[in-house]
Chain A
Amino acid sequence: MTDNIIEIKNLYRYFDKVKALDGVSLDIKRGSVVVVIGPSGSGKSTMLRCINHLEEPTSGEIYVDGELLTGEQKQLNEVRADIGMVFQLFNLYPHLTAKENITLAQKVVQGRTEEEANRIAMEKLIRVGIAEKADVYPSNLSGGQQQRVAIARALAMDPKIMLFDEPTSALDPEMIKEVLDVMLDLAEEGMTMVVVTHEMGFARAAADEVIFMDEGMIVEQTTPDGLFNNPQHERTKLFLSQILQH
Chain B
Amino acid sequence: MVETAEKVEKSSVKEAPHAAANLTVSNQEMAASRTPTEVRANVVNPDGKLNFSNIYGPEGVNPELATPLKAVKPGDPVQTGDGRVVAPVTDNAGHPTDNPASVSNDAGVIKSRQDLAKLTDGMTPDQKREVQADMTAIENRKPPLSADQVKSIYDSTAKLLRNEGDRSPLSADERNQLAGSILHNASLRTGTDQGFHNTCNVTTLERRLNVTNPAEAARIVSEVGLTGEFKSKDGQVIKLDQASLHEDAESRLQFGDKATDGKRNYASQLFDMAEINNYWQHQKPPLFYSQVAPTGQSDTGERLTYANGTEVKGPDGKPMRQPALSTDAMAEIGKDLGFTGKFIISNADVAGPGQSDGTSKVRNYQEFTDALTNGQPPAIIMVNSNDRLFGGNGDKGGSGGWHVVNVSDYKAGPPAQVFMTNQWGSANNKWVNVSDLYNATLPTNSGRVGADGQGGDQGGQQGGGDQGGQQGGGDQGGTRRGWSRNDGVMRDEDFRSWKKAIEQEDPNKDPNKDQSKKPQQHLLELIQPLQNQLETAINNHDDAQAGILRAKIESLRGTSGN
A and B assemble together: no
- Mark A residues whose CB is within 8 Å of B: none
* Residues of B near any A CB (own CB < 8 A): none
